Homo-oligomer: A and B are copies of this chain.
Amino acid sequence: MDLDLLKSLAVPAETKILLLVLDGLGGAPRSAGGPTELEAARTPNLDALAAESVCGTLEIVGPGITPGSGPGHLALFGYDPLVHRIGRGVLEALGIGMELTPLDVAARGNFCTVDGEGRIADRRAGRIPTELCEALAARLDGLPVPGAACLVRAVREHRFVAVLRGEGLSDALSETDPQRIGVPPLPVRALRPEAEAAARAANALVAEAGRRLADQPAANMVLLRGFARHPSLPTFKDLYGLTPGAIAVYPMYRGLARLAGMAPLPTGPSVAEEFAALAAHWPSHDFIYLHVKRTDSTGEDGDFDAKVAAIEEVDAQVPRALALRPDVLAVTGDHSTPSALKGHSWHPVPFILSSRQCRPDAVRQFSERACLAGQYSRIAGKELLPLLLANAGRLTKFGA
Which chain B residue has the least Cβ–Cβ distance from A54?
B347
Bound Cα distance A360, B26 (Å): 13
Which chain B residue has the least Cβ–Cβ distance from A360?
B29
Provide the residues of chain B in CB contact with A389, threshold 8 Å: 64
Assess the A396–B63 pair: CB atoms within 8 A.
Answer: no
Assess the A5–B397 pair: CB atoms within 8 A.
Answer: no
Assess the B399–A63 pair: CB atoms within 8 A.
Answer: no
Q: In chain A, residues 161-179, which have Cβ atoms closer than 8 Å to a Cβ of chain B? A: none
Assess the A390–B68 pair: CB atoms within 8 A.
Answer: no
Provide the residues of chain B in CB contact with A399, threshold 8 Å: 67-71, 81, 85-86, 91
Assess the A395–B346 pair: CB atoms within 8 A.
Answer: yes
Bound Cα distance A43, B275 (Å): 47
Cβ-defined partner of A396 (8 Å) among B5, B66, B388, B391: B66
Asked whether A357 is an interface residue with its Cβ less than 8 Å from the other chain, the reply is: yes
Q: How far is the CB of A35 from chain B (nearest CB, A)?
A: 11
Provide the residues of chain B in CB contact with A388, threshold 8 Å: 64
Provide the residues of chain B in CB contact with A57, threshold 8 Å: 375
Q: Check A65/B374 contact, CB under 8 A, given A29-B360, A32-B52, A361-B369.
A: no
Asked whether A378 is an interface residue with its Cβ less than 8 Å from the other chain, the reply is: yes
A interface list, Cβ under 8 A from B: 1-2, 5, 9, 26-29, 32-33, 36, 52, 57, 61-71, 81-82, 85-86, 88, 91, 338, 340-341, 343-348, 357-362, 368-369, 372-379, 383-391, 395-400
Report, nearest first, the 6 A-B pairs whose CB atoms are least far apart.
Answer: A64-B386, A68-B399, A64-B390, A71-B399, A63-B383, A64-B387
